[in-house]
Amino acid sequence: MFLTGVTKYCLDVVIVLLDYIIPDENLLEILDVNDFYDNDDNIFSYLHLKDKDIPLERCSKDRGRVNKYGNMLIELCKRSGIYICNGRLFADKHIGCTTCKDASLVDYLIMSPCMFDITSDFGIVDFNPMFSDVHNRLYFSFSFPSSNSLNNSHNHTINSNTYIRWDSTKTDDFTQVLTNDTGSSLQQLNDILNSIEIDTATSESVNGLVNDLGRVLLDTAETVFGKSKKKLHNPDHENKPCNDVEVNPGPLGVFFSIFHLNIRSMRNKVDYVENISNEADVICLTETHLHENIKNEDILIEGYNRDPYRKDRNSPGGGIIIYISKFIQAKPRPDLDFDNEALWLEITFPSNKLLLCVVYRQPSNNNTFWDKFHESIENAMSYTPNVVITGDVNVDFLTDHSHKIFDIMRLNGLKNVINEPTRFCATRQSLLDPILVSDSCDVYDSHVIQIDRTYSDHDGTIIFLNNLGRLQNNTTYKRMIWDYRNADFDKCNELIATFDWESIINAENSMDQNYDIIAVWCIHQLPELIENNLNS
């Protein structure tokens, strides 16, 4: 006997020791838990079983006494938020077959609650001496989407980085790069560690530090070992013609787009943000965890302003940053800011103005925050009817319908255009990252963008607005294309053969240097030479 422990008999089946905890007010008070979103998700993991109609009570045919190791395993399950499947699932539900000598249950399948979503079968196989001297076999199966479904679900993404395997011959190089710490990443992590008080540390701050350390190790591995690019399937390319010339649209488009993500620490994630934001006109990030000693040039995104708008907490957690496309005209509106982690921008179009607010609300903020938030929105609406508010407000829009923010929205004519969960944990999905727009905003589309869970436990959100009109740019976009179909290759060969190559090639140069010289000549000088000969 390992684990069962009798509490109640039901025919020949025993109800066994609980491997879960249902928290009540007394427990939360003992654990000093004040806010749901700062809790360890394990406390409420039992809700996942109830949502899946999986019984909390397990059954077992083992009538023996629980031993020391059984108690230790039960304690591990309670503390870790993991669950025993025996006596709960499929063929073994409400049974709890024995697994050893037809007398005791000592072989278990134990899983985290999120795994129940993909578990498709579980059971105990009859004893067979060919496989074991005394133990029964356990069988279980998982169901995953097909490869085609997985591809289709990620069509909106672009290139995915595939890191090369560890190369033991470069271990010393890896250690040296990590020791050099050229980007001061380890030093910054050490500074944050030194600033954290043990009594006030939260699971959020600890998880953020662990994620940051992981990114440092991955970035170091990328530097030493390199990486390869895997191109994901893109349905937009399926029906394109086989030629290699496409229309060049220039930087201007029809819609104005705003992307938001709670990034849970910006450090070492710039490349991922650049990839996943799909070249939005405005990129808004909350919980950046940046400090004033981190320079803008270290976190630039190509194609966006070199001085992004920032509000750093300069302490663990929090922070906001906004990147604006270099083709967009914007300025900060500090007169509308109402909190250290709320940032207003005024974006100007040829015949319109838009006020954008990005906010991160700490779960512990009280009613004073909402009063200031309301006043700030009223002031913004008195300036222009075009208002967009995004960020992480730590209010679940799927359930908290009586919250004060809904009164603020009704009074100011705001609506939320995101209706899917944006934050995910083991036991719950919640919508904490809305996009609020005023009635005058013409919304073409808005949706959630799936995020790799190694980067954030939030999904991104994006909105596309109509009829605002981007700031016009007088630049004319042209490019040369090679007309292979009408090319005179004999003439090209003749010109190449008769050209005085000694005039540009130096015998003292390396092979690579001379190759570069020839390549530049072919790209820039050969077209001019061909044009002159054709004109003559």
Instruction: Report whether pLDDT(35) > 60.
Output: no
Q: How high is the pLDDT of residue 137?
A: 93
**Domains observed in the chain:** 8-144 (no CATH), 149-230 (no CATH), 252-466 (3.60.10.10), 484-535 (no CATH)
Report which DSSP code applies to 402: T
Kindly write down the DSSP assignment for every residue of 103-140, as one continuous string. Answer: TB-----EE-GGGGGTEEEEEEPPP-TTT-SSBPPEEE
Q: How high is the pLDDT of residue 494?
A: 82
What is the per-residue pLDDT across 397-432, written as a single tens digit (0 to 9) for each? 998 888 899 989 998 999 999 999 999 988 889 999
Q: How high is the pLDDT of residue 251?
A: 39
Instruction: Report whether pLDDT(154) > 50.
Output: no
What is the per-residue pLDDT across 159-206, written as a single tens digit (0 to 9) for each? 445 556 677 778 888 888 888 877 677 888 888 788 877 777 787 778
What is the per-residue pLDDT across 498-536, written as a single tens digit (0 to 9) for each? 878 787 777 777 777 777 777 777 766 666 666 665 544
What is the per-residue pLDDT across 382-405, written as a single tens digit (0 to 9) for each? 999 999 999 999 999 998 888 899
Average pLDDT on 432-439 reads: 96
Mean pLDDT, the chain, rounded, equals: 79
pLDDT band at 13 (very low <50, low <70, confident <90, very high): low
Q: How high is the pLDDT of residue 235?
A: 40
**Which tokens sit at 142?**
């998982």
Q: For a pLDDT cut of 90, what percent of the chain falls above it?
A: 32
Q: What are the contacts of 70-75 at 24+ separation with CB within 8 A?
A: 70/1, 70/2, 70/3, 70/4, 70/5, 70/17, 71/17, 73/2, 73/3, 73/108, 74/3, 74/17, 74/18, 74/19
Give the 3-state secondary structure of residue 83: strand
Q: What are the contacts of 481-485 at 24+ separation with CB within 8 A?
A: 481/245
Higher pLDDT: 236 or 1? It is: 1
The span from the CA of 166 to the CA of 161, in Å, is: 15
Is the Cβ–Cβ distance between 4 and 105 less than 8 Å? yes
**For 4, phi and psi rounded to 5 degrees?**
-60, -75
Q: How high is the pLDDT of residue 317?
A: 77
Average pLDDT on 90-117 reads: 91
What is the per-residue pLDDT across 227-239, written as a single tens digit (0 to 9) for each? 644 443 334 444 4
Q: Lowest-confidence range among 42-46, 121-125, 348-352, 366-370?
A: 42-46
Q: How high is the pLDDT of residue 473?
A: 43
Kindly write down the DSSP assignment for every residue of 15-63, as one continuous string. Answer: E---------HHHHHHTT---GGGS-GGGGTHHHHHHTT--SS-EES--
User: With 0-12 CB in 10 A as exposed, 13-18 as middle and 19+ as buried, what is 113?
Assistant: buried
Question: Which of these, 256, 183, 171, lies nearest to 219 by C-alpha position?
Answer: 183
Rounded to two decimals, the pTM is: 0.46
**For 396, phi and psi rounded to 5 degrees?**
-80, 110
Higher pLDDT: 252 or 103? It is: 103
The span from the CA of 20 to the CA of 34, in Å, is: 21
Q: Lowest-confidence range among 212-226, 245-259, 389-403?
A: 245-259
User: With 0-12 CB in 10 A as exposed, 13-18 as middle and 19+ as buried, what is 136?
Assistant: buried
Average pLDDT on 193-220 reads: 80
